Amino acid sequence: MWPNTSTAPFLLTGFPGLEAAHHWISIPFFIVYVSVLLGNGTLLYLIKDDHSLHEPMYYFLAMLAGTDLMVTLTTMPTVMGVLWMNHREISHRACFLQVYFIHSLSIVESGVLLVMAYDRFIAIHNPLRYTSILTNIRVVMLGMGAFMRGFMSIIPVILRLFSFPYCHSHILSHAFCLHQEVMKLACADITFNRLYLVILVCLTVFLDSLIVLFSYILILKTVMGIASGEERTKALNTCISHIGCVLIFYVTVIGLSFIHRFGKNVPPGVHIIMSYVYFLFPPLVNPIIYSIKTKQIQYGILRLLSKDQFGS
């Protein structure tokens, strides 16, 4: 048994070698964070306020926006704390809690994207039964399933983090806590944590991506069977936004996973940049994609703006 030689807090890291420029670096980060909050917050408000958006597709979109908001609010305090005030210390309990939300929400987002693919499959493959299949109760059950899977499946490794002694260096290489970094600081056998997380990612994120790919193969097969070229285009256009979000999420998460797993010779800066791309790019771009490609969202934004102008 390793002795617990230190209960000192972990130390977060911003951009090594660029500490003097952290205040300047914080400006684009702050702009991105505010944009993420405004974009996803606006989507949630529109879906709640506009009765024409009270459909399964938009309920799932609200779940995606809510997940992106939670991811942002999980990382934003420590990132901005490091960049603005050089506040690097984080307690073990706060760090493990951040690890829990970061990794559970990644699995939740993958599950929500999977459910959205199922929604698009039903809408195109069986449009006449769409509303009878995706009832409000079933939408809630699918959403709860995605959230419960994410928040429950990560608990075993988080509990192990609480039980480990930490007597190695307490310095983390990011401005937030990641499981794969924290566990390496433990003076204990971390085999379970290593294997569990690899298996969990394979059974959730990677399996989800394969099911989403298979669902779009079936969707494409259905669309090719539609006689009218105009109807084919219309059917495919309803999937464009979701395909964009799927590609952005899975490319970044798979890229980050491979870099952390096999990128021992990759410069540390690449690890840091890829982590920020993963945590900031999808939440920033998802609302933009749906705003550009979904007419109902565009109409909702226009109504919201006209209401504000009329009110003022």
Q: How many CB atoms lie within 10 A of CB 82?
A: 24
User: Which residue pairs from 263-269 have beta carbons closer than 8 angstroms and sit at least 24 positions apart in sequence?
Assistant: 268/16, 268/173, 269/15
How far apart, in whole angstroms, are the C-alpha atoms of residue 10 and residue 172? 7
State the pLDDT at residue 237.
Answer: 82
Which regions of the chain are under pLDDT 70?
1-6, 227, 261-264, 307-312
Q: How many CB atoms lie within 10 A of CB 88?
A: 17
State the pLDDT at residue 1.
Answer: 40
Q: How far is CA 159 from CA 97, 99, 154, 163, 167, in A?
A: 10, 11, 9, 7, 18
Q: Are 197 and 180 in contact (CB under 8 A)?
A: yes
Indicate whether 1 belongs to any domain: no
Single out the residue of 258, 249, 307 nearest to residue 278, CA to CA: 249
Q: How many independent structural domains does the chain possess? A: 1
How far apart, in whole angstroms, are the C-alpha atoms of residue 17 and residue 20? 8
State the pLDDT at residue 223.
Answer: 86
How far apart, in whole angstroms, are the C-alpha atoms of residue 108 and residue 291? 22
State the pLDDT at residue 230.
Answer: 79
Indicate whether 2 belongs to any domain: no
Indicate whether 4 belongs to any domain: no
For position 117, which CATH number holds? 1.20.1070.10
Tokens of 24: 């300047």
Indicate whether 113 belongs to any domain: yes
Phi-psi region of 89 (alpha: psi -120 to 50; beta: other; left: phi over 0): beta
State the pLDDT at residue 4.
Answer: 45
Single out the residue of 263, 6, 249 nearest to residue 105, CA to CA: 249
Indicate whether 5 belongs to any domain: no
User: What's the domain range around 73?
Assistant: 10-310
Indicate whether 265 belongs to any domain: yes
Indicate whether 3 belongs to any domain: no
Largest CA distance in the chain: 72
